[in-house]
Structure 1
C-alpha cells in the first residue's frame, strides 16, 4: 500500500514503531500523518515521501542527509526532527507534533500584528534561522505557512532545509525555489540561495506582519516576481504608523542587492533586539487626518498590551505542523494561498484550475518564462450571390463588410500577439545575457568554517573554487587545525575558480606565567611583554630580608597557563623598615635591654664600674639616637657600681706594716687595741685579726679594722 497517497492507513504500525492515527495533510512532495511513537509514547508528525520521489535514490540520499543536519539543530524555535527511516519503500521523517496553527492562520484572523508583537514573532523565527545558518543550512522558503504557533504561544519554524524535488505528476514546471510573494531577487533570477536570501524572505514576512499584506502584489505571479527584481520594498510606515527604526529594519533586510542586507539571520536578529530595546516606550507617529487613512492605520484592537502567548494562542487546529511540512517548499503559491487542507485539492491543483482559461499567464520556468494560450478561432461569413441593388444584395454586402472587418481585426490581433511574443522573447534573451554577464557567472562561496585544511580544500573544489592556506591564528571557540575564518566570507559572490583564503585555528591562545619573585619590576615587564602579559604593582611593603625594589609575591603562580593580556599583580619590597632608636642613658639597664630588644634591635650589654653611677644604671648607649633597622646592634654600658678591691691579709703583720699594706691597697686602716689598759702604743705589736677578713672585695676607700694587743 502506498502510504503517501492513501487516505486510510489508520492503525498501521510503521517500521514497528509508529502507529498512524490520522491523516493531517497532503502536499506536492509528501503526506503527513499524526502518529504515536509506541516506544516513547508520544505524538509525532509522520511525513512520508510520495512513492515516485522515494524511488529516486539521489533525492532520498539528499533528503536523509539534510534531515540529519536539521536534526542536529538545537534551537527551541525549530520543529525538531526525531527520526528518519524506511519501511517497505515508504521513506519517512518523524517530527515534533505541534498543537496549534500556522502564522498564516493568525494573520487571517487578526489582519496584522502590532509592532512589538510582530518583532517578537520575528525574533523567534530569526533565532531558528540563525541556528540553521550556523550549521550551513539555508531554509529557502521562509513564509507564514512554514511558521507554527503553538497553543502555548511558542513559535517554531518548520520545513528547515529538507530535500526538495519536483513531483513527476506536477502540472507545471517550476524553476524557482520559494513562494513568489517572499522569494528573493537572486532566487527569482535563478541564482543559488544563501543566508541573505532567507534574510530577505524574513524581511518580507515582517513587513506582512506589520501591515497585513505583502509589499509586492499583482494580478499574476510574473508581475510579483518582477516587482521583487525591479522594485524596492516601501517603508511599512507608509501603510501603518511605525517608528523609523522599524522601517530601517525592514528596508535593510529586503534590499534588492544581497550585499546590502544583513549578512545572515544572526545579524538580523541582533538588529531586531537592539531596535526593540531602543523603541520601548517611543510614541508612534500620528496618522494623517484623512479618516480612511486613519482607519487603515489603526492598531488592531487586540495587538497592544498582551503577551505573545495571549496574542497568538488560539483554538487547537490539529496537525498544523503537518500542513506546513506537507506543502512542497518549492511550489510557488499565491500570497493568499494557505497550506493544503486535508481532503482538499492541493495548491498545485488549484493553480491548474485557475490557469485553464484562455489568455491566462503562468510562471513555468526560471528565470522568467511565460506561456500564453489563446483561442484563435474566428467566424467566417459567406456572401451569397444576389442581384445588385436588391435588398438581399445590400444585406449580403453588409454582411460581407462586417465579416471582412472582423477578419481584419483578427489579423491585426494576431500580428499584435506575434509582435508581443517577439518582443517578450527578445527581452528574455537580453535579460538572460545581462544576467549571465552580470551575475550568472558568479557563485556564492561555500562555508569552510570548522573544517580541516583538507576538508576545506575539497569542499571549495567541489563548489568550483580554489582554497589556499592563509596562515593561522588563535581562537577561543574553534578547535586547533580547523578553519576559523575565510576571505571572502561564506555567502559572498565570486567568479567561478576564484581563490578563497582560509585561516586555520591554533586553538586557544595561552601563555605560561614566568617566575617573577626576586626580579625587579623592570625585569618582570621584560619577561611578561613577549608573553602578552602585563605586570601591575599593587603594593610596596617593608621586608627585613629582601632588598628594596625586588618582587615579593605574584598573583598567579609560575607555570600556570593564562589567556592573552592577562594581568599579573605583584607586591614589591621596600627593604627593611627604619626603626627609631630610644636613648636609655641614666635608666635601668634591664629596662633598656628589654625595650630595645622588643623594638627589633640586637642589644649588646656591657658592664663598667663607676664611682658616680649607681650599679645597674646605663652609663652610655651607642647609638643613642637616630634610626636603625631591625636586628641592628645597639651597645649599652651598665654601671656595676664602684671598683671592688680584694682586702689583703695583714694578720701577723706589725701594726705599722699592716696599715701601710692596706693604704697601698686603697683601704683606710683602723687600728684597734684589744687591751688598751696596758698602755702599749701598739705599733710594734702584731695584728691578731682583721675586719673584714682577707680576700673579701670592698670598694676602694673602705675601712679595714686591724686588731692587735
Structure 2
C-alpha cells in the first residue's frame, strides 16, 4: 500500500540521508516506508516508530532492541538491518527492502499450501530462526505476517520487535506480547517464553499452511488464549486427510502443550523437517536410505491421549539412523508388521480401485450419454406452438404447456421457455413452453392535470419514457397536458401492458413578446429554450418601429426547442395627400376619402356642389398616416 498524499512522512528526508518515497505497511508500534538511501543510492525499508509512543521508554527500548537483535544475525533467511537512529523525536530502523508479499498474503490468495510448499517455506524460516536461537535470541512474535516472500524467491524472517535475549525462562514482565493466535500455553498461563515458544508458534503456522485455517478460533482473544492453554492442537490430517503423516506428526510435536515435549530449538525441528522432506518428495528413495515411512519424532516421554497416534521414543532412536538394542528390535518388529498391514491394505485398495472404476464408468455414461446428461434449451420464441414443442422434444426434454402475455410476440405463437433458452438442463427434465396471449390490455388512468411524478406513478405498469415539454397558457407549469401512445396519439381507454407512453408536460405560457424590443424578445425566447427567428417587417399604427408586432411558429402546439418567428414593426405607414384645389366641395371629399383620408368641411350640404376648394390642410403632397383628417376651404 502506498502512502496517501496526506501522509506527513511522504517526501521527508530523515537524518539528512533517507528520502521517504511511499508507505509499505503499518503496525501497532511502527510504520514501514520505502525510502532511498541517498548516500549509497539504494532502496531501503525504513521502520519509523509511531509518534505517540516516542515518550514511552518501554517502546523506545524495544525498538532499539529490535535493531540490536537483528544486527547480531547474519543469515540469508533473516532480514538485514543496516542502520538505526533518531531524527528529532523520531526513532527509526533501516532494513533491506524486499519487494514481494508476506506468507499471510500467500495464504489469503491460496487458502492452504501443498506439503512441498509448506516444507520449502518452513525450511527457510527454521534456518533463519535457528540462527537466532543459536545467538540466544527468542523472536516471540512468529506469525505469517513476519515471513517475507521476495519476488526473486528469497524467504526471510523479519520483525524482531519483540525479540529478547533468551535465558532459561524469559519472562515478559508485562501484558502478553505477540499475536494471540500463535501464543504458546506457557506465555498464556505463566507469561514466560524461550526458544520452544517460537517452536509452538511455528507449529501453529505449519498447521495453518497445511489446512488453510488456524486450529483455535473464537469471538474474543481470551477464548483463543484459553484454548491454547487447555487444548491440544489437532492433527492437520483431521481437517485435510491427505496431509503426509510425517508433517502431521511434526505439527503435533511442535505444538505440545508442555514445552518439555517440544523440539528444544529451531535447529532440532529443522533436522526433523529435512527427514520428513525425504519421505514427502521421494518416499521410495527415503526407504532405500533407511528412513522409516512413518516418522517417529524424538522427545522426552509424553503422556499421549487415547486418540494420539504419535509414538514417542527416546532421542537415541532418531529416524534415519542405525539403532541397536531393544529399541532397534522393537522398531524392526514394528516395520515388519507395518509391511504386512500395507500388503493387506494393498489388496483392499486394488479391489476398491476396481469398484471405483466401475462406478466412474457408470457415472460417466449416466451424465455423458445417459439420462443424466445435459442439453441446451433451444430458443423457440416466435415459432408456432407445434414447431416449438417438436424442437424441445428433439433435445430430450418433456414439455409442459403454459401461457403468458407478451407484447413482442403475436398471440398463439411460442413466447419462450422456463428455464430460459441457452440454459443447461438435464435431459428428460420438464421445460415449460409458454404460448403468447398477446399484449395484456390495461385500463388507462386519467392523468391530465396531475403533477408529472404522480402521473408516472399512476402509469407504472406502462413504459413511460422521457416527457415532452410543451407551452400552455391554460395548464400550470409542471402539470400533465396529455398522455400519448407510441405513435404520438392520445392514449385510448385501454392500452397494452408495458406499452410505450409519453407524457406532455406544461412549462407554462409563452412570455409576452408583443411590444418588446428586438433584442429583449430574442433573449426572452432563449431563456425558455425556444429558438428566435426574425420575420418580415410590417407597418403598425400601434407598435413603435423596431418592436415586436406579432409572433408565429411552424409548429402547433409550441414545445421546448421549437422556432418562434418575430414580426417586427416598421412604424406608421404614410400616404401622400392629393391636390383637390379647384374641385367642388363634394368632388374634393370623394377624392380625399378614396385616398384613405377623412374629409372635413364647414360648408353646408346645400352649397357643396356650388362652391370650389381654394386651399386644403394638410397641403397637397404632404405625407401623413392613413385616416388623417383633411380640411378644405372654399371660394364662392
Q: TM-score scaled by structure 1?
A: 0.37
Q: TM-score scaled by structure 2?
A: 0.41
